[in-house]
Structure 1
Amino acid sequence: MTNLQILSITLKDYRQYKGEQTIDLRKRGERHINVIEGQNGAGKSNILNSITFCFYGTEEHLKEEKEGGLETFPLVNRDRLEDLNDGGKATGYVEIELGETEPEYVFKREFTTVKTDGGFNSVVGDLNLQRRVNRDWKPVDNPNTYLNEILPTRVHEYFLFDGERLHKFFEEGYPERVRTAILDVSHIELLNRALEHLDKMDTEIGRKASNFKGEAKRLKEELDETKRKHERKEKRIDELERDIAEAQSNIDRIDGKLRDSSDAAVREKQERRKYLNQRLDQLNDEISELKDETTEEMVDAGPIVYNLKALDFTHQQFAELAQAGQLPPKIQDWFVQELLESGECICGADLDSDEEKRRHLAELEQEMSLVMQENLEGKAEIPRVIDDGKDLVEDIISNRKKISEKQDELGEVDRELRDISNELKSYDLPEDVDVSSLESQRSEIEGRISEMRQEIGRVEHEIETLDERVNELDNKWREEAAKETKHRTMMRKLDFVEEAHEELTEIKSTILAQIRENTEENMNRYFNDLIWKNEDYTVELGDDYTVSVYGRHGDNKIGSLSAGEKQVLALSFMSALTKISGFNAPIVIDTPLGRISSKPKKRIAQNLPSYLVDTQITFLMTDEEYTDEVRAHLQNSVANEYLLDYSNEITEVKER
């Protein structure tokens, strides 16, 4: 199922839409963009709500209001309800046609509103589906199964979303939202179910293993408890890493505010700190690289240094033998070869008739060849080995000197960073950003990050110790359990379950890593396509699901993005998810340019026609978004254009 589009939406007495109104949204050739324009309150957002209501029985734009108890308006159009007596009811529906070029699926959900003394009660009906089979339309008994193949509930918010809220996506706590979104579109439900099944099997086998007696039972109980400790430690690592990512995003936000200070000295110190932090990372990388290189050189140099006296002695012996004329040997292998070929020894013996003498000379030839080769190779090789050892020792000394120099510089950088922090804490600029307070917050957060990293180090060491203990106990337990024949089949099952779990976990990890890489690539492209500034950015998605936006000077701007820039970043992320999700469903965006000021809208409008060109996109815009300039840039890509005419609490959809 590919390239599906919403061919039409029919609203029957839904919210502001009185009567039956059909909105045709099908693409026209290469024109893949629909625009529905309406003022605030005219029912623009209820177009998005009608789609999620029909498919999933929930109104996306009103979800938060309903959860807060603010939902008071009935589903059925109020004008229809005015003439009803208490207890009277009226019905309506939302119907959506889906297909590639012609309708293939018609989803429909009805609703009923009852008038009561206290107001209105609305009842939502079940989802219905008619599917075209050849030329006939047939009802489907399991509509949600088909909908799940087209656009599952867990991913619909990445295709049908409220652009007005996008700027909040990358605010506090965003790494967890990014992680959840990537997991939602990763298509790993089957793997997760398989892993859950294997966990159940492991538990079941473990339950049977609890029936063991004696030493096997004791070992199994200790093994299970050690595994539980291991699991708790790993969960703690995950918690700390998420907390560090969140804390780092808060530091980025504070840095952005400090860079925006009107005080030149504050901005200068912030820029200096940015450089020093980059230099700090660079020095740490260089020191780590030098230490690794030095370790490798010490491994290579060790055997040479420890055997240097023996090598010098052997080299001296070779020199003395050569000086005495004993190297090369007096008897050359070629001379012996000539005797064998002539058939006569230097003593006059006939070698052809004396097999024993001929064999003796042949053995002498092989021996002289080997002695000559080994001595000549050794004579040439040993000086090179000694020289290599001396060079390695010199490199080790040089590297240790470089490490010491870089560690000194590291200390100087660290001291300067502390000085900058202390100076900023003392700033008092009442009409500017609260530099002192921000810097104090920053120092506190850095302190927490340092403490959390130290804790991660301790917990990782504890995990290593637990790993060793788990392996030790597991081997002992298996050995003890296998002593009884009746347990051997169960142990083979356990081996299979554990190996399968390990393989599936590795596959899952590989898939998620690839998805992160693809998301980063698409996100980087979309952000640079849509952002209005004449500057190239590099968007990176980290293993911890943090997002970095680097400018041309290498500074991370994620903490200083404006609301409009955050909206573009979130829009780019959503688009990247739709691209890699595998679901070629249509996209509907309510208020796509709501946080974008007038000047940047031009750049975005210029790039929107080439944005997800293979996907049907419907924009729900206000008149402030859909300006004449924006309309001019989009006109060659717009398939359908509508205006919502709102009057007396009733909206009529009109072609523009």
Structure 2
Amino acid sequence: MIFLELVLQNFGPYAGRQVINLDPRSEENPRPIILLGGMNGGGKTTLMDAIRLALYGQRAQCSTRGNLSYVDFLNQCVNSKANPTEKTRVELLFEHIEDDKPIKYRIVRTWEKNPKDGKDALGILGDDDTWPVDSLVNIWDDYIENLLPLGISNLFLFDGEQVKELAEQETPPQIVIEAIRGLLGLELADKLAVDLEILVNRKRKENADTKDLANIEQIEERLIQQQEDYQVIEEKLVTFQNQIEQLEIRRRESLDKFVSEGGKIAAERNQLEERQKEKNTALENIRQSLSELATDILPLALIPNLLSQVQAQGVKEFRYQQVQLARDVLLERDKRLLQWLNELAIASENVDKIQSFLAEDADNLYTGYSQSKAPWLLADEESLSQLDNVKYHLENAQISARKQLSNLASLEEELIVLARQVQTSAEPEAYQKLRDAVEEAQNQVAQAKANYETTRRNLTELADAIEKTKKELKEYTEKNIDSKNREHIISAAAKVQETLKIFREKLTLRKLNKLEEEVKNCFLYLLHKSDLVFRIGIDTKTFSLSLYDFDGKPVPKHRLSAGEKQLLAIAFLWGLAKVSGHRLPVAIDTPLGRLDSSHRSNLVERYFPSASHQVILLSTDTEIGKKEVETLRENEAIAREYLLKYDSATRQTTVLENQYFW
């Protein structure tokens, strides 16, 4: 069996008519994988529901149906933006072998808002998609049961949550147990045993006298009532289970709202406000310090060039003053020298030469330090020394100012962050309201779980009462019925039941032995670690898995990592699919969400290309990411790629062909 095409029209978030080609075959090279990528809430699960709905209609186990009636579920599936005059439509074209020939059928289900008779309209089209096959419409449920039985469909159309549940539980969930029983053919033996019991009771009733018959009928009426009560309580148990799931969702939503709307931050509001006060105090201290610098020496930083010029001019004028003083001293000395020379009676021409030299030397000294402009600063040595101190203190003040400005900017940024946190935190009244909502949701979940547990105990007690009544009926009739012909039927039926019990046990062992080997081979192939387990055993009653090492010793499941447990669950489903003998497509929703990178690569490289001749993967960008999709492309495992583009503004999804996230 191969799914060839899925058509959605105004179904869920898919507005208008959108067609998805699912055929993995091509003329060049058949590739098994059809990859559909979409973000959470973008319509991946809706596609899986569409396939189930097309195949099984009212019997479909769709993820979003819950406790809804079929008409309410169909109304829920109608696109919110759909034209009221247009019908909602789901089509699934598939191909399978019939009488050794390939044959195609297109399942068409249409309905409108509040459909008549509370159901959809079913049509089956033949090979050329034009002529209807009316003969199949009335027997469609039986027909599809022969191709893909509803009981085992969850082994081929499953999601990551189902794998998670199977990995975490010691025994498989009931839905998987029913699928296993269907695969092993055990339901036929059970049905035959029930039919034999009905036959035996009928023959015993025919063989009883009036009094015996009245007693038997009384016991049978009690048994029927108990069985009816059992069914009612069983339905209530399912209702409570669904209620718990819905309430768990509401609890998570209220908790998310508590966190997102500031409930968590509100618990720390006082601390945030205290930190705000501390930061504001530090901020004011820095501003006060900067103000003090601004009223002291810091404004001189505005005229650095002028300060340098003043210092240079002061040095120049001070040097000039020194030269002037030195010149005056030299002139006085030269005058005394000349007088002394004259007293020594030295020739006048030599004295004149000495006098001329001294005058020229004094003029040269003065000329080298003369100024073109008259001194204007007139600063003394002490003032110039103070100017050096001013520059030193100014540099320190600038360094301090820059450091404090940096601290000021950091404090202002921290205050902005604190203000934002305080702003987003809930007020005390709102915080209490959010907290009350969380507590109420938690109390509702606790109450629902208590109701579920009470109902489960009642169901167990009623099951025990039913068995007791059956035993009483059997003992009563065996003591009071004495008809040879009918007794022969009864005794023969008892022998058949005993034989059937032995047959069922042997059939179970035979099928489970094959299943154990397949599950082990699949697990070791996925795990790529041959020394972990030597044998996998499956319990004949609970179908729980047991692992054994090469020495025959049990390998506790808790020794497996979370990833290895999930690979074991996938190997279990894969082995069941192989043992079933059905050549069917495999569709997996959210296949890798809870696996680490090493186990992901094992699934990508080993499981997906080999799971079936057609593998439909519905994945987010974080599950089958860039690395995984490139690996699948390099291995030529992908036949087609689609991207489910969800527009949050319109809440509509568009299917983009030949595209993925990368």
Query: What is the CA-CA distance between 1:499 and the residue it aligns to?
Result: 2.6
Unaligned runs of 5+ in 1: 82-87, 115-119, 229-462, 482-486
Q: Deviations over 1:382-426 (max 9, x none)?
A: xxxxxxxxxxxxxxxxxxxxxxxxxxxxxxxxxxxxxxxxxxxxx
Partner of 1:200: 198
Q: Report if aligned partners of 2:196, 2:497 keep a CA contact under 8 Å in 1.
A: yes
The 2-side partners of 1:45 and 1:134 are apart by 27
- Say which of 113, 123, 133 aligns to 1:128: 123
Partner of 2:82: 80
Q: Deviations over 1:502-560 (max 9, x none)?
A: 33333222222222222211111111122265743343212342212345684523234
Q: Which amino acid in 2 is paired with 1:524?
A: K
* Alignment of structure 1 residues 79-228 onto 2, 5 Å: 79-80=81-82, 90-100=86-96, 104-113=104-113, 124-132=119-127, 137-139=132-134, 140=136, 141-172=138-169, 174-175=171-172, 177=174, 179-211=177-209
Identical columns (%): 24
Q: Deviations over 1:604-650 (max 9, x none)?
A: 2121255234x321111111122233223322122222111222322
Structure 2 CA distance for partners of 1:72 and 1:489, relative to 1, 3 Å: closer
Kindly tell me the number of residue pairs found equivalent between the two proteins: 387
The 2-side partners of 1:501 and 1:72 are apart by 44
State yes or no: 1:493 paired with 2:493: no
Partner of 1:445: none
Q: Report if aligned partners of 1:108, 1:129 keep a CA contact under 8 Å in 2.
A: yes
Q: Which amino acid in 1 is paired with 2:33?
A: I
Structure 2 CA distance for partners of 1:589 and 1:98, relative to 1, 3 Å: same
SS at match of 2:82: helix
Q: Report if aligned partners of 1:642, 1:655 keep a CA contact under 8 Å in 2.
A: yes
The 2-side partners of 1:573 and 1:46 are apart by 26
The 2-side partners of 1:46 and 1:509 are apart by 40
The 2-side partners of 1:574 and 1:138 are apart by 34
Structure 2 CA distance for partners of 1:651 and 1:552, relative to 1, 3 Å: farther
The 1-side partners of 2:85 and 2:118 are apart by 10
Partner of 1:564: 563
Q: Which amino acid in 2 is paired with 1:153?
A: L
The 2-side partners of 1:43 and 1:184 are apart by 31
Structure 2 CA distance for partners of 1:89 and 1:559, relative to 1, 3 Å: farther
Q: Report if aligned partners of 2:166, 2:172 keep a CA contact under 8 Å in 1.
A: no
SS at match of 1:184: helix
Q: Deviations over 1:418-443 (max 9, x none)?
A: xxxxxxxxxxxxxxxxxxxxxxxxxx
Structure 2 CA distance for partners of 1:493 and 1:540, relative to 1, 3 Å: closer
Structure 2 CA distance for partners of 1:643 and 1:176, relative to 1, 3 Å: closer
Structure 2 CA distance for partners of 1:73 and 1:43, relative to 1, 3 Å: farther
Partner of 1:262: none
* Alignment of structure 1 residues 292-311 onto 2, 5 Å: none
SS at match of 1:107: strand
Structure 2 CA distance for partners of 1:77 and 1:477, relative to 1, 3 Å: closer
- Say which of 61, 64, 77 aligns to 2:63: 61
Query: What is the CA-CA distance between 1:48 and the residue it aligns to?
Result: 0.7
Structure 2 CA distance for partners of 1:652 and 1:191, relative to 1, 3 Å: same
Structure 2 CA distance for partners of 1:490 and 1:534, relative to 1, 3 Å: closer
The 1-side partners of 2:24 and 2:108 are apart by 22
Q: Report if aligned partners of 2:7, 2:19 keep a CA contact under 8 Å in 1.
A: yes
Q: Deviations over 1:289-343 (max 9, x none)?
A: xxxxxxxxxxxxxxxxxxxxxxxxxxxxxxxxxxxxxxxxxxxxxxxxxxxxxxx
The 1-side partners of 2:529 and 2:68 are apart by 39
Q: Report if aligned partners of 1:97, 1:103 keep a CA contact under 8 Å in 2.
A: no
Q: Report if aligned partners of 1:14, 1:92 keep a CA contact under 8 Å in 2.
A: yes
Structure 2 CA distance for partners of 1:577 and 1:523, relative to 1, 3 Å: same
Partner of 2:578: 579
State yes or no: 1:517 paired with 2:520: no
Q: Deviations over 1:559-578 (max 9, x none)?
A: 34444333222221112222
Structure 2 CA distance for partners of 1:569 and 1:89, relative to 1, 3 Å: farther
The 1-side partners of 2:103 and 2:38 are apart by 27
The 2-side partners of 1:98 and 1:71 are apart by 25
SS at match of 1:624: coil
Unaligned runs of 5+ in 2: 224-467
Query: What is the CA-CA distance between 1:582 and the residue it aligns to?
Result: 3.3
Query: What is the CA-CA distance between 1:168 and the residue it aligns to?
Result: 1.5
SS at match of 1:494: helix
Q: Report if aligned partners of 1:532, 1:600 keep a CA contact under 8 Å in 2.
A: no
Give the superposed CA RMSD.
Answer: 4.0
The 2-side partners of 1:646 and 1:121 are apart by 31
Query: What is the CA-CA distance between 1:122 and the residue it aligns to?
Result: 12
SS at match of 1:169: helix
Q: Report if aligned partners of 1:132, 1:138 keep a CA contact under 8 Å in 2.
A: no
Q: Which amino acid in 1 is paired with 2:146?
A: E
The 2-side partners of 1:123 and 1:651 are apart by 27
The 1-side partners of 2:116 and 2:133 are apart by 32
Query: What is the CA-CA distance between 1:66 and the residue it aligns to?
Result: 5.6
* Alignment of structure 1 residues 255-294 onto 2, 5 Å: none
State yes or no: 1:631 paired with 2:629: yes
SS at match of 1:626: coil
Q: Report if aligned partners of 1:549, 1:556 keep a CA contact under 8 Å in 2.
A: yes
For normalisation by structure 1, the TM-score amounts to 0.52
Q: Which amino acid in 1 is paired with 2:47?
A: I
Q: Report if aligned partners of 2:181, 2:187 keep a CA contact under 8 Å in 1.
A: no
Q: Report if aligned partners of 2:38, 2:643 keep a CA contact under 8 Å in 1.
A: yes
Query: What is the CA-CA distance between 1:38 and the residue it aligns to?
Result: 1.2
The 2-side partners of 1:649 and 1:203 are apart by 59
The 2-side partners of 1:535 and 1:602 are apart by 19
The 1-side partners of 2:642 and 2:550 are apart by 41
Q: Report if aligned partners of 1:31, 1:637 keep a CA contact under 8 Å in 2.
A: yes
Q: Deviations over 1:14-56 (max 9, x none)?
A: 1111111111111225322211111112111111111112222
Q: Deviations over 1:478-500 (max 9, x none)?
A: 9xx4xxxxx33223222332233
Structure 2 CA distance for partners of 1:572 and 1:41, relative to 1, 3 Å: same
SS at match of 2:569: helix
Query: What is the CA-CA distance between 1:185 and the residue it aligns to?
Result: 2.2
Structure 2 CA distance for partners of 1:89 and 1:113, relative to 1, 3 Å: farther
